[in-house]
Amino acid sequence: MNLNIVGKDILRVDGLSKVTGKALYPQDLYIDDMIYGKTLRSDKSHAYIEVDIKEAEKIKGIIKIFTYKDVPINHYGVVFKDHEVFCREKVRQIGDPIAFVVGENERVCKEALKKIKVYYEEIEGVFNPIDAMREDSPKIHGDTNIVYHYKLKKGNIEEGYSNSYVVVENTYKTHMVDHAFLQPEAGLAFVDKENILTVMVATQYPHYDREEVAAALNLSQEEVKIINTNVGGAFGGREDISLQIHLALAAYTLKKPVKAIYSREESFIAHSKRHPLIMKYKTGADKNGYLQIMEAEIIGDTGAYASWATNVLRKSGVHATGPYFIPNVKVDSYAVYTNNLFAGAMRGFGATQVPVAHEQQMDILAEKLGIDPISIRMKNIFKKGSVSATGQIMLESVPIDRCIEEVVKNIGFSMSVGRG
């Protein structure tokens, strides 16, 4: 086959603009008569709120302070519309947006943020997803904190245990991770000459942003345009709305270009995180090291908002066995609301966390059976024709054996070492 691109060194089309500093990110955009916006965010995790903007509005240079009262449709979200553009009566996490101050410059906006009075009536919060699953726990939205339950069953569980010589049971926990992309969120919105509300922003999904901006402002999608600038890293952290609706609302209402730039600190509390998981695993193998059974309960803390929790925890469940053939499998994977910072898409999307559990289980099984950690993997890995726990038949490229062989070679692992 003659390929023009694959296997060849290709220069990035945006390389030149990036090495010369000419590539524009949203913070680099300047328009005449541009005004600025800053977001007031909750510093409490769970509280009823009353907001008084009277003092702040009086500050010279302040043009308007937006709250929930100014938003036509105050809800948005990638799967469930559980985010509020501005919190109406309750904050559910630190960093929840309460108001958007628009002024002549950033300095007056910062001053006004300090003058907005927020009366918090704190309510009991819940910060551990296991506690949050209990019926008597404080509820974040509605009457249950369980957003999603993915169930996977294959084979016969009893048989799996009776065929096992060794069974290991452990609980593994992974932590919250931030994407820490280098370019903090920023954007510029304006109404263009053709009366199209335009938002220039660094985003992973201009088409979804357009839907969400139009829906919140009660406009048709044709009246909204999203222009994706250069994106200074994303890694999943720019899949949810951050400042797009705030900017669009301000520019549409005031008919002026409005710009906002988040500080690194605000960026951290404004966007999603990797879901922390609690993974309870029970894995059994026969005397020869062949896996017979795996039971897993995976609980994902999605914080105050669902974002992509259903998709992420489904993926954790689907990938729970790792790249191993296991005849009998039971997986229950949950996404649960808490008052922690919300979790969403982040590199690997739920598949990154589960190896912490399934690979340690393999090492511990190997040790108990007196087999080395490589051999036990080679016995159980997917090969061409293997069937996964979800029923997928692997018909194409399944080169895990080659991958492990390379690793063994490169780390200088001797197969005889550790063999019982």
Partner 1 sequence: MKEIKLKVNGIDYILNIDEDIRLIDLLRDKLRLTGTKEGCGEGECGACTVIMDGVSVNSCLVMAFQADGSNILTIEGLEEEGKLHPIQKAFIEEGAIQCGYCTPGMIMSVKALLDKQPYPSREEIRKGISGNLCRCTGYNKIVDATEMAIKYIKEEGV
Query: Can residue 8 be called a binding residue for partner 1 (CB under 8 A)?
Result: no
Choice from 72, 233, 385, 399 touching partner 1 (CB under 8 A): 233
If binding is defined by CB under 8 A, does position 148 make contact with partner 1?
Answer: no
Binding span for partner 1 by CB under 8 A among 44-52, 76-84, 232-240, 287-295:
232-240
Q: Is the dihedral of CA 183, 247, 92, 81 positive or negative?
A: negative
Binding region for partner 1 (CB under 8 A) out of 26-34, 91-99, 153-161, 285-293: 26-34
Q: Is 232 in the site for partner 1 (CB under 8 A)?
A: yes
The verdict on 262 binding partner 1 (CB under 8 A) reads: no
Regarding 287 and contact with partner 1 (CB under 8 A), the answer is no
Among 8, 255, 264, 409, binds partner 1 (CB under 8 A): 264
Please report whether residue 7 would count as binding partner 1 according to CB under 8 A.
no
Least spacing, CB of residue 24 vs partner 1, in Å: 7
What whole-number distance in Å separates Cα of residue 25 and Cα of residue 420?
Answer: 58
Please report how close the Cβ of residue 209 comes to partner 1 at its closest, in angstroms: 18
Question: Is residue 269 a contact residue for partner 1 (CB under 8 A)?
Answer: no
In the complex, the smallest distance separating the C-beta of residue 244 from partner 1, rounded to whole angstroms, is 19
CA distance 307 to 292: 35
Task: Tell me the closest approach of the beta carbon of residue 29 to partner 1, in angstroms.
Answer: 9
User: What is the C-alpha R_g of the chain?
Assistant: 26
Residue from 3, 8, 30, 417 binding partner 1 (CB under 8 A)? 30
Is 23 a residue that touches partner 1 (CB under 8 A)?
yes
> Min. distance of Cβ 43 from partner 1 in angstroms?
20
Question: Under the criterion CB under 8 A, does residue 252 sit at the interface with partner 1?
Answer: no
Which of 14, 122, 363, 401 touches partner 1 by CB under 8 A?
14
Is 15 among the residues that bind partner 1 (CB under 8 A)?
yes
Among 1, 3, 6, 182, binds partner 1 (CB under 8 A): 182
- Regarding 292 and contact with partner 1 (CB under 8 A), the answer is no
One character per residue 202-231, x = contact with partner 1 (rule: CB under 8 A):
----------------------------xx
Q: Which stretch binds partner 1 (CB under 8 A): 21-29, 75-83, 138-146, 404-412?
A: 21-29
263 binds partner 1 (CB under 8 A): yes
Residues that bind partner 1 (CB under 8 A): 9, 11-12, 14-25, 27-28, 30, 179-184, 230-235, 263-264
